[in-house]
Structure formats: structure tokens, C-alpha cells
Chain A
């Protein structure tokens, strides 16, 4: 029910992001979505891509500090307020969300989030019949 996301340790000004992008390009791995947040010294560059496991191995082999993390990817209809309604389901169940980002793919919205309460999150998704992206869908998503 979750997908693998790459989390890369990226020092500011170190050129890590460019290297990661080049390595993925060479490996013919497509980026579906990415986001970066930063502190004063470093950032975590998070990537959803077509073949996360292979991407992870490629980056590791190149000496990049990278982590493979399970995140939820919920598919939303392209309607106003859908994101608000969906998040409410989780917050009403007292599920803490560590971080969240979203993007549009075709005419659907995709909501990516990470939580430590993944069992509870699973339940919410099943009970409310939410659409989600599974790991095997990633390669055909684009």
C-alpha cells in the first residue's frame, strides 16, 4: 500500500542534487516527483521515481548518502477541497504526519505523506476506499 521514496542527504552548495539527477538520467530512471527542504547546512532531497530499488542501488554504489523510505501515495480526484477532506480523515484518527507534498499527474492529484502510524493509516485507506499508488504502479505511472 506504500511506495518507496528516495531520501538523499544533500549538503547545500555541494552539487549533490546535480549528481543525483545525472546518475538517475544515466540509469534511465524517471523522476515522478521530488522535493527538497533545507536547514542552514544541509537538506533532504526526496524523490519518487520509476524504479526506486534500482535507483537506490545506483546512488549507493556512487557513494551518495541515500535512504529508502516507505511513504503513502493517495490518488485524489481533481476537485476543489479533496486534499482537505482526505487529510481530515487521518487527522481525525490522530495520525501524525511527519511531512507531506503533492503534485498533479495527468488529471489526478497525488498526495505523498509519511507517518509513523502506518498501521492506522492503512486502516483509514481501506475503510474509506481511498485510491492509492502501489510500488508496482510506479513504472507505469508516467
Chain B
């Protein structure tokens, strides 16, 4: 008895596919480490730093979301890490959160890594696998519960300026708000091989590793200058949030 069925159980199929895809031949592992810095020095929560607007600021809390990881092979083809396993919260206060282990990467030579800052708000949540990231985002305070959205970066601390002489709190929460305010950014950094005449190789059984530096000072001083005093509370901000997102898009670099 032969029967034809239109099977729409897409999710099951897709989930299973993702599991299959990770079973590549000669899978290798890439350990990514995120290191938050101010200019060239390792960030210390609570230390004072100065921005170009002559404001002295501390960072008491720093978290951001990394997503949608893709590696570029030497031949230009892409290795797309399973999207629904591709959401991470990097929290300065939690050392574990700063290293991300990517398993099941096809062995080979790679030139670059691309990742998302935040969560791509244009993608359908089922398609992009963000729904299962909700509990993590919630537990780390990165869920904008009132809008069912995500904070892409949470940066909080205290500051003084020429006009604000008493240490005062500032707060920067940049995320997306529907399709109107899209602060998601794709960021690509080159992978750095041990020496300039070798390739960045991921091989079976060997853990390749790469440290990615996030220069937090660029939040204030990148392509755009953000004075804290100008707006010490940036949340749903159609003017400043995109400026900050643009600054952040050039704040990541591979450690040489």
C-alpha cells in the first residue's frame, strides 16, 4: 500500500538536519575567547577610564550577545555554525561566558570569522532559533521582557564630567525594537595564524583557538563620539543607539 503524504513537520526535519550537519568529516574545534579591553589594556570592572569627552567613567557591568557564527574558509566558502546553537551572552563578570567552544567544525584552513552583535531582528524566531535562547537571555538580564526583545549590549557604570562632578550612574542598553530600530550588526574579523606565512588551521583532534578583543572604549569613541553626559540613560533611543551600534561594529579585532 503506497501512500503519499505532504509532511510539514519542518521543525523536526530542520532540527535533525542541524544535528546531522555537525557530523562533518574530521571535525575540529575552535575555542573563541572574548577579551574586553580599554584601548590596549584588559578591562577591570570598577576601574576608572577617561573618554575623549573628558568624562571619567567606570564599568560596573558589561554583557553582550554574540550570534550567528560563520567561518570563512581559505577558498572563500563558508562554514556556518548551526544557528540555533549560535547564541551566546558574554559577561565580563563571568569568566566561563567569555570562552566559547565551537565543536564540529570541518577541518581546514580558515581566514575569517563573522558573528552577529545582538540578535538579527528581521529573522523569524523559529527560523533563527532565538526562542530557545530566551531563557539564557532572561537569566542574564539580556531579555527586554516588555517588548519580547533582546538587549544586545548592557553597559552600566558611574561617571563624572566637567558638569557632573558628583559620581553619577549611566546606563546603555542597545537592542532592537521590531523592524524600526535595527541595531543588529554583522562583524567580521580576520583569524590570525601563529605566524604570517602559515594558515589558520582547524584540524581534527586539535583545539584551535583565537582571542577576540572587544575594545569597550570604542563604544564612546569610535566613528561617532558619544558623550555620557549628553544622555546618561540610553535605552529606546533611535538617535544614540544606532550610533553606538556603529561604533561597536568596529570595536572587535582578533588578537595577534
**Binding partners A and B:** no
> Which residues of B pack against A, CB within 8 Å?
none
